[in-house]
Amino acid sequence: MSALRLEVFDIAAAADGSVQPLVEAAAVEEAKVASFEQGYSAGWDDAVAAQQGDQGRIRADLARNLQSLSFTFQDARSHVLQSIKPLILEMVNRLLPEVARESLAPTVLEAVMPMAEELADAPLILVLNPAVRGQIEDLVTQATGLPMVIEEEPTMPDGQVYIRFGSSETKVDLGQVTTDIAIAVRAFFNLNT
C-alpha cells in the first residue's frame, strides 16, 4: 500500500512541467498584513465601543446612586427635624419667656445708658408693670445714679417697659421679641416638613 498523497493547492504545474506557486509570496504577505490590520482595527473599535458602553453604564449607575443618596439625605433630615421639633417648640414656649423675664432689666439698662449720656440732668421716666419694678429699679439705680421716676401701669405686660428721657422715648418689648422668635421657629419647622 502506498502512502496517501494529498494535492497541494498553492502551487500549479507550469507548461514546462515545473511547479510554480499560485500566489506570489509578496501578495501572501500583503494579504496577511492587511488581514492583521483589519483584525486589529476591528478589535480596537470593539474595545472603544465596550469602553464607551461601560462609561455610560457607570454614569447611569452613579446618577441613580446620587439621586438615591439625595432622597436618603432628605428623608434623614426631615426625620431629624420632626424628631427635634417638639423639643425645640417646648424650649421656645417654656424657656424663652423665662429668659426674657430675666433679661428685661439688663435690656432696659442697655437702652437707658445712651440716653443718660445725652441728657444727664433730666429725670428718667420708666413706665412698667408693677411686677417687674423691683428688679428694674435696683439695676438702673445702681448702674446710672440718675434721678428716676417710675410710673406703674398694671395693664402693661411684664416684658414691656417704656423709657422716657427728655423728649425721647424708647420701648423695650421682650414679650414681642419672644413671640417673634416662637413664630420664626414654628415657621422653620413648617417650611422644612
Summarize pLDDT for 31-48 with one digit per residue, the tens. Answer: 888 889 998 888 898 888
Looking up cell 448702674, which residue turns up?
143
User: In whole angstroms, what is the distance from residue 74 CA to residue 110 CA?
Assistant: 43
The reported pLDDT for the residue numbered 115 is 66
Q: Give the number of other CB atoms < 10 A from CB of residue 165.
A: 20
Q: How confident is the model at residue 116 (pLDDT cuts 50, 70, 90)?
A: low
Compute the distance between CA of residue 101 and CA of residue 91 in angstroms, rounded to an integer: 15
Question: What's the start-to-end Cα distance of the chain, in Å?
Answer: 99
On whether the CB atoms of residues 136 and 160 are closer than 8 A, the answer is no
| Per-residue pLDDT band at 144 (split at 50, 70, 90) | low
The CATH number that domain 103-191 falls under is 3.30.2320
pLDDT of amino acid 19: 65
- Residue 63 has a pLDDT of 84
Place of cell 440732668: 121
- Encode pLDDT of 155-165 as tens digits: 988 888 888 87
Query: Quick one: pLDDT band at residue 193, thresholds 50, 70, 90?
Result: low
pLDDT at 117: 63
- Average pLDDT rounded to a whole number, residues 111-135: 75
Ranges of each domain in the chain? 103-191
Residue type at 55? Q
Placement of cell 507550469 in the chain: 14
C-alpha cell, 143: 448702674
CA 34 to chain centre: 60
Residue 41 to residue 46: CA distance in whole angstroms: 9
pLDDT for the residue 184: 82
Mean pLDDT of 108-112: 71
Query: Which grid cell is 4?
Result: 496517501
Residue 67: how many other CB atoms lie within 10 Å:
10
Provide the grid cell at 104. Answer: 428685661
